């Protein structure tokens, strides 16, 4: 799955998905946020968003609709991914219980 990363806490390269743009080290349990240079649109829980019949929306990057958000798409919404290779890096959210320091 995700192999180009190395855990900053234990050095492992084995990660599991842990939600939207988050991964957890399978060895020590440290939680990381995936950081990209690509923009993203996040529609948060509880949001009510309507793209009307005449909408012609282009989102360049990612679209993240969180659970509990109400999105009504009546028109056209297109999510465009960049043509060049994405760069990712990890940002530590919290260390795992088994982390070595």
pLDDT 10s per residue in the chain (101 long)? Answer: 445 678 889 988 888 888 877 889 999 999 998 876 666 788 999 999 999 989 898 887 778 888 899 999 999 988 877 654 444 566 677 777 654 44
User: 88: how many CB neighbours lie within 10 A of its CB?
Assistant: 15
Residue 97: the pLDDT is 66
Residue 39: the pLDDT is 62
Residue 61: the pLDDT is 77
């Amino acid at each position: 799955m995700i192999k180009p990363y190395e855990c900053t806490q234990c050095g492992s390269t084995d990660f599991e998905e842990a939600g939207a743009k988050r991964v957890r080290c399978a060895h020590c349990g440290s939680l990381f946020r995936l950081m990209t240079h690509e923009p993203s649109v996040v529609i948060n829980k509880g949001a009510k968003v309507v793209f009307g019949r005449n909408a012609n929306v282009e989102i360049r990057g990612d679209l993240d609709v969180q659970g509990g958000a109400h999105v009504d798409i009546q028109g056209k919404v297109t999510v465009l991914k960049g043509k060049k290779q994405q760069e990712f890096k990890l940002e530590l959210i919290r260390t795992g219980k088994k982390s070595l320091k």
